[in-house]
């Protein structure tokens, strides 16, 4: 699957990582709902690190469609809530059409 980290670029991540990413996704959703910035930072950091560690960085100009788009490191609860208002999934992860 192709995972794009906003402000960083795309990664090709093995499909087997879907479950682990989904678990972190649920934790991210809970942190956003609770308005817990400290927990958001921890979980988002773990999610991004998992993508970087398990994935292979692709050139920034790789135009393949992304399966997931993740917020940038350092995103705030307010920023992710704004993404939700724009139609991102509840966890702050957005799936491109």
pLDDT digits (tens, 9 = 90+) for 46-94: 999 999 999 999 998 898 998 888 999 999 999 998 877 776 654 445 4
Q: What's the first-to-final CA gap in the chain, in angstroms?
A: 14
In the chain, domain spans: 2-85
Residue that wins the pLDDT comparison between 69 and 44: 44
Give CA–CA dist 22/60, Å, rounded.
Answer: 25
Please identify which residue in the block is written with the tokens 């192709």. 2
Q: What angle in degrees, to the nearest 10, is found between the helix axes of 18-34 and 77-85?
A: 100
β-bridge pairing 9-12 and 2-5: antiparallel
Determine the length of the chain.
97
């Amino acid at each position: 699957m192709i995972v794009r980290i906003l402000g960083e670029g795309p990664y090709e991540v093995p499909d087997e990582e879907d479950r682990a990413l989904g678990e972190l996704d649920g934790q991210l959703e809970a942190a956003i709902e609770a308005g817990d910035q400290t927990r958001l930072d921890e979980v988002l950091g773990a999610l991004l690190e998992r993508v970087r560690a398990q994935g292979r960085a692709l050139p920034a100009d790789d135009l393949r469609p992304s399966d997931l788009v993740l917020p940038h490191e350092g995103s705030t609860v307010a920023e992710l809530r704004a993404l939700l208002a724009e139609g991102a999934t509840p966890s702050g992860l957005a799936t491109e059409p």
